[in-house]
């Protein structure tokens, strides 16, 4: 009896506080653990600069202020706890914003719990990592403004007349969502249409947008009409924003039905709603979470922090079939001097593209491709890719750091100083800016730095143009200028291994061994044996294959001869020889260029 009474009357602890705490806790744990990839993917999309000029760059288009606030908030993604707290707070806000709307329409405070599904859909939206926190903030602000709108007809018209231009200025295309919610609320609450309010909600925003496109703004009308709503080609194909908006409007309609769920007893009503929401959460998490994205961004996190051993340990447990994952794995191998030893311990399904991308003016390639050229000490090309990344993405911590590094190595101290000042004027980057400031006009400090020094001392004997489409030519030109460039040699030999070019490997081995201290990595030893077998008559190499490699090859060929079916032979050989050059040579097809 006591339990029935407890559910029958409005209890804020049950209806608001407990669901809010539960949603906040679940969201925090989700984005701290499996959903951390959302933080990693978005932590370096913008560089928030604390200057009036930076703010002004957002005020030249509708919705710019919302993007500015979103850019500020996204800086907290750098910190795992703060980022998870921020997202969980945003998701919990969706619960309270929806609950207030529903109670406003229905007058039934127990229906506040309907907002739980809004939070769940919000969580699904953020699991799609291109979704920005500023876009979620736009939904929350608009819903809050609708919940705060006057009820009396004339005051409501005045509210619409003044609020719609301001909302468009601050939130851009979210003015359509605002107008739609205001119209739905008007119809559901009053059971009739106020045509003046309807025109203000739907037609008025269109007039403002068209006039703005004609008289004020330079952007195309299509962008002015919807930006920065989470739609369009740049945002990608995600159903969650559509589902969220549809649910908000549907829940408002259902809230206006007088006898909805009244036939159920209070206890069963709560249990049925709880079951519905738990099932919804399970479905949303299942369909919105992308495990491959989670694994890739963990790899990128380790690569950016240059934790090469940690990266290789992680990819050993979670082999990446992603182009960028393969690129970072090979980058870690070369930084640990293991590229020509352990290349085939990891998937190489992308061939030469897994070593270096062909030049293309795509942001996702440019922001990562600079790392390859920096690793092989091709400083000018590393600068080129970082600069192109800056043109497309704007300044980020990543491309700005690389530009500082390359300008310091090239002795352009005034340009480097400007970049350091820019980095220092952004939030959370003061320590890094101070680190690089010590190298300005100080060649001796640069020479002693483990990252900058080795690249400073490389002297190019002749200029050459980078061949953006041909990795082999770039590496050969680098080695012609500096034959002691071991990372470039490692990549060149790895390229020959992936292309199954045993003749080129044999020709390059003497120079490679001279740089590598006469140490022949296992994969090159295996390729040398293949060369000697296939070039018995003209073989003039004095290099010898190690006894261990000869013994292993005898065991490999003994098993291979036992099977006529290539697929069966590959299945038997893979556990012991899948990481060998021979297995790659016999059973792996070269990817299409």
Handedness of CA 460, 461, 464, 466 (dihedral sign): negative
Domain-located, residue 478: no
Same domain, 11 and 33: yes
Task: Indicate whether 107 belongs to any domain.
Answer: yes
What pLDDT sits at residue 459? 56
* pTM summary value: 0.92
Residues 60 and 193 in one domain: yes
Pair 285, 332 in one domain: no
Rounded to whole angstroms, the Cα distance separating 257 from 189 reads 10
pLDDT tens string 497-538 = 999 999 999 999 999 999 999 999 999 999 999 999 998 766
Q: What is the pLDDT, as a whole number, of residue 263?
A: 57
| Distance of alpha carbon 468 from alpha carbon 369, whole angstroms | 11
Query: Domain for residue 546, yes or no?
Result: yes
pLDDT reported for residue 7: 46
Phi then psi for residue 502, to 5 deg, are: -70, -30
Token readout for 5 is 């009474």
Say how far apart CA 320 and CA 485 lie, in whole Å. Answer: 28
Q: Does residue 85 sit in the same domain as residue 159? A: yes
Give the count of domains, the chain: 3
pLDDT one-digit tens code per residue, 227-269: 999 998 889 999 999 999 999 999 999 888 866 555 556 656 6
d(CA 120, CA 133): 15
Q: Are residues 302 and 277 in the same domain?
A: no
For residue 589, CA distances in Å to 329, 349, 350, 355, 585 come to 21, 9, 11, 17, 8
Per-residue model confidence (pLDDT) at position 3? 46
Neighbours of 274 (CB within 10 A): 13
Domain end position, chosen among 423, 456, 489? 456
Same domain, 196 and 282: yes
Q: What is the pLDDT of residue 262?
A: 57
Q: Which range marks the domain in which residue 241 is found?
A: 2-289
Examine residue 252 and state whether it is found in any structural domain, yes or no: yes
Question: Which residue in 1, 264, 230 sits closest to 130, CA to CA?
Answer: 230
What stretches in the chain show pLDDT beneath 70? 1-14, 258-271, 459-469, 537-540, 590-593
Buried b (16+ CB within 10 A) or exposed e, 211-241: ebbeeebeeeeebbbbbbbbbeeebeebebb
CATH code at position 394: 1.25.40
The residues near 160 (Cβ < 8 Å, ≥ 6 apart) are 182, 197, 200, 201, 204
- 180 is written with which tokens? 């739609």
Peptide bond into 492 cis (omega under 30): no
121 neighbors 57 (Cβ within 8 angstroms)? no
390 within some domain: yes
Report if residue 269 sits inside a domain.
Answer: yes
C-alpha separations of 499 from 212, 270, 297, 348, 593 in Å: 56, 64, 28, 11, 11
**Residues 321 and 214 both lie in one domain:** no
Backbone conformation region of residue 517, classed left if phi is above 0, alpha if psi is from -120 to 50, else beta: left
pLDDT (tens digit per residue) in 15-46:
788 889 999 999 999 999 999 999 999 999 99
Residues 277 and 299 in one domain: no
Q: Give residue-wise pLDDT tens across range 422-466.
A: 999 999 999 999 999 999 999 999 999 999 999 987 755 555 556
413, 432, 456: which is the final residue of a domain?
Answer: 456
Cα 455 to Cα 447: distance, rounded to the nearest angstrom: 9
Last residue of a domain, one of 256, 289, 322: 289
What are the b/e assignments for 336-365, b being 16+ CB within 10 Å? eebbbbbbbbbebebbbbbbbbebeeebeb
Same domain, 268 and 357: no
Same domain, 16 and 138: yes
51 and 65, same domain (yes or no): yes
């Amino acid at each position: 009896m006591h339990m029935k009474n407890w559910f029958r009357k409005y209890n804020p602890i049950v209806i608001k506080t407990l669901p809010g705490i539960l949603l906040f806790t679940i969201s925090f744990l989700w984005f701290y653990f499996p959903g951390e990839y959302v933080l990693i993917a978005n932590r370096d999309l913008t560089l928030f600069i604390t200057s009036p000029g930076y703010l002004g760059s957002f005020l030249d288009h509708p919705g710019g202020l919302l993007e500015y606030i979103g850019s500020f908030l996204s800086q907290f993604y750098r910190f795992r706890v703060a980022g998870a707290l921020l997202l969980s707070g945003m998701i919990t806000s969706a619960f309270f914003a929806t609950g207030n709307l529903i109670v406003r329409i229905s007058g039934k405070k127990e229906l506040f719990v309907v907002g739980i599904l809004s939070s769940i859909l919000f969580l699904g939206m953020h699991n799609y990592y291109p979704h920005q926190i500023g876009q979620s903030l736009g939904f929350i602000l608009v819903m809050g403004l609708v919940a705060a709108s006057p009820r009396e007809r004339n005051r409501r018209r005045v509210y619409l007349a003044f609020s719609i231009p301001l909302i468009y200025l601050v939130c851009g295309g979210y003015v359509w969502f605002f107008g739609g919610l205001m119209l739905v609320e008007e119809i559901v609450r009053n059971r009739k249409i106020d045509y003046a309010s309807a025109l203000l909600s739907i037609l008025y925003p269109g007039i403002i947008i068209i006039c703005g496109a004609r008289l004020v703004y330079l952007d195309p009308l299509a962008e002015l009409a919807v930006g920065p709503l989470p739609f369009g080609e740049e945002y990608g194909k995600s159903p969650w924003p559509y589902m969220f908006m549809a649910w908000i409007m549907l829940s408002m309609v259902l809230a206006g039905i007088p006898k909805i769920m009244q036939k159920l007893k209070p206890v069963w009503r709560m249990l049925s709603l709880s079951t519905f929401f738990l099932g919804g959460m399970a479905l949303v998490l299942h369909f919105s979470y992308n495990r491959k994205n989670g694994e890739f961004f963990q790899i990128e996190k380790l690569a950016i922090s240059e934790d090469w051993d940690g990266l290789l340990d992680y990819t050993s447990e979670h082999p990446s079939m992603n182009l960028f994952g393969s690129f970072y794995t090979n980058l870690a191998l070369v930084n640990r001097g293991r590229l020509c030893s352990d290349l085939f311990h990891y998937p190489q399904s992308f061939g030469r593209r897994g070593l270096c991308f062909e030049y293309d003016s795509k942001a996702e390639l440019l922001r990562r491709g600079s790392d390859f050229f920096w690793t092989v000490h091709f400083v000018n090309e590393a600068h080129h890719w970082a600069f192109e990344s800056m043109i497309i993405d704007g300044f980020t911590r990543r491309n700005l750091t690389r530009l500082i590094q390359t300008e310091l190595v090239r002795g352009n101290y005034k340009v480097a100083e400007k970049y350091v000042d820019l980095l220092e004027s952004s939030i959370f980057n003061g320590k890094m800016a101070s680190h690089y400031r010590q190298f300005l006009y100080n060649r001796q400090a640069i020479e002693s730095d483990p990252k900058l020094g080795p690249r400073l001392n490389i002297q190019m004997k002749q200029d050459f143009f980078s061949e953006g489409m041909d990795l082999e030519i770039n590496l050969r030109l680098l080695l012609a200028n500096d034959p002691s460039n071991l990372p470039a040699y490692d990549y060149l030999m790895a390229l020959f291994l992936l292309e199954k070019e045993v003749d080129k490997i044999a020709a390059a081995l003497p120079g490679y061994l001279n740089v590598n201290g006469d140490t022949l990595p296992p994969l090159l030893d295996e390729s040398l044996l293949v060369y000697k077998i296939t070039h018995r008559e003209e073989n003039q190499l004095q290099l010898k294959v190690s006894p261990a490699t000869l013994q292993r090859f005898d065991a490999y060929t003994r098993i291979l001869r036992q099977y006529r079916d290539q697929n069966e032979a590959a299945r038997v050989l893979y556990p012991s020889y899948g990481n060998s050059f021979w297995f790659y040579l016999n059973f792996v097809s070269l990817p299409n260029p």
